[in-house]
A and B are shown apart, each in its own frame.
Chain A
Amino acid sequence: MRRDFILAGVILGLALLIGWRAPVFLTLATLDDIATDTAILAMMALAQMLVILTRGIDLSVAAMLAFCGMAAALVGQALPELPVGLLLILGPAVGLGLGAINGAFVAWLNVPPIVVTLASMSLYRGATFLLSGGLWVSSHDMPAAFREFPTERLFGLTHLVWLALLAVLLAYGVLRYSRFGRSIYTYGGNPSAARYVGIASKRVLFSVYAISGAVAGLCGALWVGRYGIAFTDAAQGFELQIIAACVIGGVSIAGGIGTVLGCLLGVIFLGIIGNALPIMAISPFWQMLIFGAVILAAVTINRQKGRAAKIILRPKTAEGG
């Protein structure tokens, strides 16, 4: 909890600092833009956190996003009469399948997650190319409703922001109160012990990758609608930003540690950096340098202090000493 306060403080300080250099940054319109812009990152980071909590990693998320986005866009192009809801369901449905492939390899064939998802990252990106034949689907080729859905407003906020808020609540509820959520922490904390207490480890592992795929699929459909373009290189390198958001938010790459709040703060942090640098008119090379330095600084400030949190029964003597 204390780490989250520090990170929140850093975010506030950063926002004020940027606002001081560029006052336009501290307006409601900018806040709205940042929220809409980071909504996809937030959903993707939360799904990635589930995977990282189980000591895994999913590098294929951006490729799944591109594939599902392309699939939804192509179907939308071919059948413009289709209701937008169906296209938005198609994304996660396809993503669920792709994620399940990852999950099957990790859970039942015992291939290390980094290997599985590194391979599938390339596989899904290649499949996107084959699916589209290398062509773009641009905004006017998609149904108008599909294009407009992500940025349409409900009670003042865009659909994207509402979906992200829903994802936050869902992730919080599941991780805190459901048996599945607690199993994820238990497995990540100690896989052997999890087996002894009767957790269906393989099913848990499979599920987190499948969920990651489904979320990437939903985000793919939203991404394509929002930016009005589906192409093979869509969201290239996005997986690194997603993982960075988790790590900045205090999710331990070693598994078992991480909270929804922390993850969300990590997302907001990256969202502010990503939107502030263009406004401040800084040279692109400085942008890259600042981006890297800031991540390193944030992770250092926010690092896990030892593994103390994992000691369930603290020896009495240690407390006294």
Chain B
Amino acid sequence: MTKFLKTASLAVIVGVLAMNSADAADKVRVAMLVKSLGNGFFEACKEGGIEASNELGNVELIYTGPTTATAEGQIELMNALIAQKVDAIAISANDADALVPVAKKAAERGIKVISFDSGIASGRLLQLNPSNASLIGQKQVQMALDAVGKAGGDVAILSATAQATNQNIWIAEMKKELAKPEFSSLKLVSTVYGDDQADKSYRETQGLLKSFPNLKAIIAPTSVGIVAAAKAVADQGLIGKVYVTGLGLPSEMKGHVQSGATKSFAIWNPVDLGYTAVYAAVQFTKGELKGKAGEKVPVGRMGTLTIDDKGEAAMAEPFTFDKDNVLKYAKYF
């Protein structure tokens, strides 16, 4: 018996050593290039990316991004990553078009480029959408209706910058939803832009509250905007009269959910998104996938992605947080 144990453990050790040396030889280097550093959402994406690279075993994750959310900063970093000869890049872009030439350049050098969260127009093998834009639009309008009740009323949208790719798609989807009969009691009175700056978002919210005294709900599909809007509503003493909903992070929203300024908000799990992005990027480095419509990409615990005719794939539908579950998730992201 002891002999068997010895042999077995020796075999395991040899096996581990062999795996380690194999790792060192052909480690896949994947870069996650985010919109900007210091954003809680992307920090959570990083956690998921680390999880995926640990699970896959032979992956080295490089997490990077500009200090301010500009396309110029991302282009510089892309060039640096090309020079480092990474195997794959997963990017969340600050501009849908500006990153295209440098993405094509990376592809020419054999680097597999995919985009996630906020996409680039072309030059990537896959755009990984955190969810389906129409599901996101529907969810937010539904949350607004749930917050104000059946009677409905005036609603407004507080967005990030006026040229943000994902924001504008979601706004378009929300407008489609609002046109449907089940949401006819909600009336969209204004769309304003807070540029993802706390002070400007706060000021824009104050403007909304003044200009539209009958306002019942504000939908902010941005993590900076939703916090600023909830703070402004609370400061104006309008908790219970105006509800803030949209997309935010549980750790940043838990205070506002407890105060009642927000009844519910949604977000896809950024940990899952980072996990899926890195997992998918690694699958592309194996060389079999070409990013064609109909191809299926296995993504570990998140199941399988199916690439559509626009070269995009959706991960899952957004997840709703309210006072019952926000504290639990606030610990994670």
Residues of A participating in the B interface, judged by any CB pair closer than 8 Å:
22, 24-25, 29-30, 33, 37, 125-126, 129, 132, 134-136, 138-140, 151, 223, 227-229, 231-236, 238, 274-275, 277-279, 281, 283-285
Contacts and interface: CB of A to CB of B under 8 A. Distances in A.
Contacts of B328: none
Contacts of A132: 38
A111 B43 CA distance: 38
Nearest to B232: A227
Nearest to A122: B67
A258 B254 CA distance: 47
Given A129-B67, A134-B37, A284-B193, A229 B255 contact: no
A130 to B, nearest CB: 10
Interface string B183-208: 00000001011011111001110111
A284 B208 CA distance: 14
Interface string B256-284: 10100000000000000000000000000
Contact of B204 (A140, A238, A278): A278
B252 interface: yes
A148 to B, nearest CB: 10
B255 A231 contact: no
A122 to B, nearest CB: 8
Contacts of B69: 233
Nearest to B198: A227
B68 A278 contact: no
**Secondary structure of the A side of the interface?**
helix
Contacts of B227: 138-139, 228-229
Contacts of A238: 199
B12 interface: no
A129 B66 CA distance: 12
B37 A129 contact: yes
13 contacts: A134-B39, A134-B43, A135-B40, A233-B36, A275-B203, A275-B206, A277-B207, A278-B192, A278-B203, A278-B206, A281-B211, A283-B162, A285-B162
B158 to A, nearest CB: 10
B286 interface: no
A179 B208 CA distance: 48
Interface in B195-234: 195-199, 202-204, 206-208, 210-211, 224, 227-228, 231
A140 B258 contact: yes
Contacts of B108: none
Contacts of A229: 198, 224, 227-228, 231, 252
A146 to B, nearest CB: 13
A252 to B, nearest CB: 28
B38 A275 contact: no
Interface of B: 36-40, 43, 67-69, 161-162, 190, 192-193, 195-199, 202-204, 206-208, 210-211, 224, 227-228, 231, 235, 251-252, 254-256, 258
A233 B67 CA distance: 8
A317 B206 CA distance: 59
B230 to A, nearest CB: 9
Contacts of B210: 24-25, 29-30, 279
A277 B204 CA distance: 9
Contacts of A129: 37-38, 67
The majority secondary structure among interface residues of chain B is helix
A34 to B, nearest CB: 10
A231 B254 contact: no
A40 to B, nearest CB: 9
Most chain A beta carbons < 10 A, residue from B38, B68, B256:
B38
Contact of B231 (A37, A139, A275, A278): A139
A44 B217 CA distance: 34
A22 B39 CA distance: 36
- Residue of B36, B162, B197, B208 with highest tally of chain A CB at under 10 A: B197
A314 B26 CA distance: 82
B211 A232 contact: no
Contacts of A278: 192, 203-204, 206-208, 211
Contact of A134 (B38, B198, B203, B228): B38
A87 to B, nearest CB: 18
Contacts of A140: 254-255, 258
Given A231-B198, A235-B199, A126 B206 contact: no
A267 B239 CA distance: 31
A52 to B, nearest CB: 23
A238 B195 CA distance: 13
Contacts of B162: 283-285
A33 B209 CA distance: 12
A138 B230 CA distance: 12
Contacts of B197: 233, 235-236
Nearest to A229: B198
Contacts of B254: 140
List of 5 A-B pairs having minimum Cβ-Cβ separation, nearest first? A278-B207, A140-B255, A232-B38, A134-B38, A284-B162
A275 B36 CA distance: 28
B38 A139 contact: no
Contacts of A223: 199
B120 to A, nearest CB: 22
A231 B38 contact: yes
B67 A125 contact: yes
B241 to A, nearest CB: 15
Contacts of B206: 33, 37, 275, 278
Nearest to B36: A233
Contacts of B251: 136, 138
Nearest to B196: A233
Nearest to A234: B198
Given A129-B38, A232-B38, A235-B199, A275 B207 contact: yes
A227 B231 contact: yes
B252 A233 contact: no
B68 to A, nearest CB: 6
